[in-house]
Amino acid sequence: KAGVTQTPRYLIKTRGQQVTLSCSPISGHRSVSWYQQTPGQGLQFLFEYFSETQRNKGNFPGRFSGRQFSNSRSEMNVSTLELGDSALYLCASSPGTANNEQFFGPGTRLTVL
């Protein structure tokens, strides 16, 4: 069974631009979560989607948004990029029943110049 895939793997943008990251979960998984990893703040939860509905949301500004499609694939969007948005963005999927382990993708490394 294929693992979680994320595209692109690396991205360089400039301040003020917007970016869209994509995540394809493990086949059959209905829940997708996104996390931001930075050296200063560690791993922080962005949001969680289940069956196309946002089930949970972290403490990030409205510039960060996401969605999930009917095939469970998910995208996250960051508008008006700031230097502090430079991070590794990790996507994770799980079957969707609560308190399950999550399976992580390799991440998208975003650099904002």
Partner 1 sequence: GNSVTQMEGPVTLSEEAFLTINCTYTATGYPSLFWYVQYPGEGLQLLLKATKADDKGSNKGFEATYRKETTSFHLEKGSVQVSDSAVYFCALTGSYNTDKLIFGTGTRLQVFP
Point out which residues bind partner 1 (CB under 8 A). Answer: 4, 31, 33, 35, 42-43, 45, 48, 55-56, 90, 92, 94, 96, 98-107
Rounded least distance, CB 107 to partner 1, Å: 5
Rounded least distance, CB 69 to partner 1, Å: 18
**CB contact set of 27 (below 8 Å; sequence gap of 6+):** 1, 2
Q: Select 14 or 27, whichever has its Cβ closest to partner 1.
A: 27
Rounded least distance, CB 82 to partner 1, Å: 23
Q: Select 79 or 86, whichever has its Cβ closest to partner 1.
A: 86
